[in-house]
Chain A
Amino acid sequence: MALHDAPAETRHRWRVGTEAHNEVLDFLIEEAWILDDGRYAAWLEMLGEEIEYFMPTRSTVYRNDGLGFSENMGHYDETRKSLELRVRRLLESTSAWTEAPPSRTRRLVTNVQVWDGDAPDEYLARSACLLLRNRIDNPTFDMLSTSRRDTVRRSGDSFVLIKRRIEIDQATLGTPNLSMFF
Chain B
Amino acid sequence: MAISGLEVTSEPTLRDGTTLGDLINEDQREVSLRVLADPELYRLELERIFGRCWIAVAHESELPEPGSFVVRSIGEDSVVVTRSEDGDINVLLNVCTHRGMPLCRVGRGNAKRLRCPYHGWAFNTDGRFLAAPFEKQMYGPDMDKVALSLKTARAEVYAGIVFACWDQSAPPLVDYLGDIAWYLDIMFSRTDAGLEVVGEPQRFIIGANWKAASEQWAGDGYHAMTLHHSLTDLGLADYSKGSWAINVSTMGHNLRCTDNPKKFWGANTDGLSLEEKLRTLPPPGTTPEMLDEVMRHLSEPQLQILTDTPPSVGQIFPNLFVWNSPGLSADGTISAITRIHTMFPRGHDKMELVSWALVERDAPEDVKRKARQTSVLMTGISGFIEQDDAETWPAIQRSANGTQGQKLTMKYIAVLGEQRPEGWPDGATVYDGFSRDDPQWNWWLRYRELMTTGPAASEAW
Contacts and interface: CB of A to CB of B under 8 A. Distances in A.
B387 A76 contact: no
Given A79-B330, A89-B234, A97-B227, A177 B107 contact: no
A57 B201 contact: yes
A176 B202 contact: no
Contacts of A77: 372-373, 376
Indicate the member of A60, A92, A97 with the most B CB atoms within 10 Å.
A97
B204 A61 contact: no
Q: DSSP majority for the B interface? A: mixed
B227 A70 contact: no
Interface residues of A, number: 43
A74 B107 CA distance: 17
A49 to B, nearest CB: 13
B168 interface: no
Given A79-B373, A172-B204, A172-B205, A95 B199 contact: no
Interface residues of B, number: 44
A82 interface: yes
Given A59-B107, A175-B204, A95 B230 contact: yes
Given A95-B226, A95-B228, A179 B106 contact: no
A172 B388 contact: no
A70 B199 contact: yes
A179 B380 CA distance: 11
Given A70-B199, A76-B376, A96 B331 contact: no
B412 to A, nearest CB: 23
Contacts of A175: 204-205
A93 interface: yes
Nearest to B369: A72
B426 interface: no
Interface string A157-178: 0000000000000011111111
A175 B204 CA distance: 7
A38 interface: no
B213 to A, nearest CB: 10
Contacts of B226: 95
A103 to B, nearest CB: 10
Given A60-B107, A92-B234, A93-B230, A172 B199 contact: no
A86 B376 CA distance: 12
Contacts of A45: none
B381 A75 contact: yes
Given A61-B109, A171-B107, A178-B387, A73 B228 contact: no
Contacts of A88: 234
B234 A85 contact: yes
Contacts of B220: none
Nearest to B228: A95
B382 interface: yes
Interface string A140-159: 00000000000000000000
B22 interface: no
B154 interface: no
Contacts of A85: 234, 330, 377
A75 B382 contact: yes
Interface of B: 105-109, 198-207, 226-230, 233-234, 330-331, 352, 357, 368-369, 372-373, 376-377, 380-382, 384, 386-388, 390-394
Given A84-B330, A88-B234, A93-B234, 8 more contacts: A57-B199, A73-B201, A73-B202, A73-B357, A73-B372, A78-B373, A97-B230, A176-B393
Interchain residue pairs A-B with the least CB separation, the first 3: A70-B199, A73-B199, A82-B330
